[in-house]
Amino acid sequence: MVLKISRSLLWLERWSIYGLLIGLIGGISAVIFSLLVSAVESLLILQVVGDIATRSTISTIHCLIPLVVALGGLISGIIVYTFAPEAEGHGTDAVISSVHLLWGKIRRRVPIVKIISSAITIGTGGSAGKEGPIAQVGAGFGSWLADTLNLNDEDRRTMVLCGVAAGIAAIFRAPLGAAIFAIEVLYRRDMEIPALVPTVISSIVAYSVFVSFMGSTRVFHVPTYEIPSLYTLCFYALLGVILGVLALVYVKVFYSMRDSIFRRLPGPKILAPTLGGLSTGLLALLYPQILGPGYEWIQHAILGDLDPYLMIILAFTKILATSFTIASGGSGGVFAPSLFIGAMMSGALGRLLHTVFPKIDPTSFTVVGMAAFFAGAAKVPLASILMVAEMSGSYELLVPAIIASVISYTISGKSTIYESQVRSRIESLSHLSEVSLSILRSIRVGDIMTRNVTVISPKDRAIDVLKLSRENGHSGHPVVLNGKLVGIVTHRDIMKIDPSKLDRILVEEIMTRNLVTTTPEETLDVVIDKMYRHGVGRLLVVDPECPQKLIGIVTEKDIIRTYEELIHEYLKSHPKP
């Protein structure tokens, strides 16, 4: 008993120190990020937008809005795709993926790239928020600190979650909600409970650092409101149903736009966030309220200053604008846009219902709706409730917020804006050891690799390889000369070429010659480590006796498919009670 208490104290002492360190880093990072966003806003978008939302006509300078937002997407895209492609999009999903697949390993350059690119995207009017960027920034510093302190994989994951909690606690002045968010966001139906104490410590420290520089004013000012009665609680249940359906629409539009439009665009990847920014800017000519995170318009919704029919329109246009900005690869978070969507739709419903049922308080509806919508869209009901309560100081609304959020969470089903979420800890690759420590080490490359590989010649033209990729759907092709493996060409290599020169450029001019390979006898844990260290999504399989003899290829998809099959078999043989 004494030994157990001693070990517990040692663990708590250790994580108090780690939490303090990452909290300090996260808080300072949040200060820098906030100041950088404000600087970009004051230099660009505020000068162009001015008071457009209150004018009846659009002046010539306001027509520059699409160009400014597109420019932000272009610059952000150049920075991201040049230095850290994993920093694209909304950030939090990349952190979730890193925790599940890479044990929290994040390249050291990612936080810097994310801070700069996100500040540009948000500051130039992109429909995005600070949650995703600061989560990835904090997570990146947590991963770096874990490596610096030579921590094991389990502790690195916890450090990453501490970084997420620290960044979000600071930016949104919501330490408790941020700590819960960090342990809840990984799963649709589970939590990373062992990390709760460390994330609380880092959140409180980061919050304290941030407010000492930026002040402790709450994000939203909520005027006097009527505490819901038992009679009105049924209307909050109705609100949960409506917002749950809207969350389904939001997620569907977001990923349909990404997969059907932006990922199919020809040419360099930087064109997608540029087009996304341009589309957002054009939409903003009609509804400028959708630019940026939209906190000031959420405040107007809380105060009841907006027409309810306009609010409904703004909810749907914000879904489009956020999809344009982030699904295209623009760097920014989805939390603030989600609050905007939830506030507009619930505020409008509250105003309309109030005309028929005077006991319904529109202000309460607006605040509760923010929590309920994000609970359904992101599968973080507890964090949503706590964060909105802390951001607005509306703790008396916890009961209706719980009712609406739980219903929204249930109605939206498996749909989530964070596609890297898994159902529970048992389905996370990082927790595979809890199921069987030896599974990855027991699977050989030869068991899952693709043997019939389409190869190309060094003398083939780039245009022919591009056509081949479109025919077979493969993004990479090995290059073989006289039966010997000499290189590999990927779709990304070809996309770097001027389209007018595709029929003149030969494979040997663009192929990668320094190959990362594996052998049939290597196990999947070794393969995953190689993919991470070299930043590749596939490995060529060669004969160990003759390294230039190609015998197959193994990809991330092969590994994930195999893993899912193993988990499915495990769940069938170990049903939940």
Q: Please list the residue range(s) of the chain that carry CATH number 3.10.580.10.
A: 440-563
pLDDT of residue 573: 60
Partnered with residue 485 across adjacent β-strands are: 480
13/304 Cα distance (integer angstroms): 48
- Burial label for 408, CB within 10 Å (0-12, 13-18, 19+), is buried
Q: Please list the residue range(s) of the chain that carry CATH number 1.10.3080.10.
A: 2-214, 230-425
pLDDT of residue 503: 86
Domain spanning 2-214: CATH 3.90.76.10: no
379/375 Cα distance (integer angstroms): 5
- Phi and psi, residue 542, nearest 5°: -120, 165
pLDDT of residue 252: 96
- Burial label for 393, CB within 10 Å (0-12, 13-18, 19+), is middle
H/E element, 476: strand 476-481
Question: What is the value of pTM for the model shown?
Answer: 0.76
Which tokens sit at 336? 């603030």
What DSSP state is assigned to residue 193?
G
Count CB-CB contacts under 10 A for residue 525. Answer: 15
421/423 Cα distance (integer angstroms): 7
Between helices 398-411 and 362-378, what is the axis angle to 10°? 40
Measured CA to CA in angstroms, residue 203 lies from 9, 210, 217, 378 at distances of 20, 10, 17, 20
402/405 Cα distance (integer angstroms): 5
H/E element, 337: helix 335-356
Report the CATH number of the 230-425 domain.
1.10.3080.10
CATH architecture of 440-563: Roll (3.10)
**Spatial contact of 99 and 430, defined as CB atoms under 8 Å apart:** yes
441/521 Cα distance (integer angstroms): 11
Q: What is the pLDDT along the chain (577 residues), one digit of tens a residue?
A: 444 444 455 878 889 999 999 999 999 999 999 999 988 888 765 555 555 444 444 555 667 889 989 999 999 999 999 998 888 888 888 899 888 888 888 888 999 999 999 999 998 989 999 988 999 999 999 999 999 999 888 899 999 999 999 999 999 999 999 999 999 999 998 899 999 999 999 999 999 999 999 998 899 999 877 777 788 899 999 999 999 999 999 999 999 999 889 988 888 888 999 999 999 999 999 999 999 899 999 999 999 999 999 999 999 999 999 999 999 999 999 999 999 999 999 999 999 999 999 889 999 999 999 999 999 999 999 999 999 999 999 899 999 999 999 999 999 999 999 988 988 877 777 765 555 545 677 788 998 898 888 899 999 998 888 888 878 777 788 999 988 999 999 877 887 888 888 888 999 999 988 888 999 999 888 888 888 777 787 899 999 989 899 999 998 878 878 877 776 776 666 554 3
pLDDT of residue 53: 47
pLDDT of residue 334: 93
Question: How does 163-192 read in b/e, with b if 16+ C-beta sit within 10 Å?
Answer: bbbbbbbbbbbbbbbbbbbbbbbbbbebbb
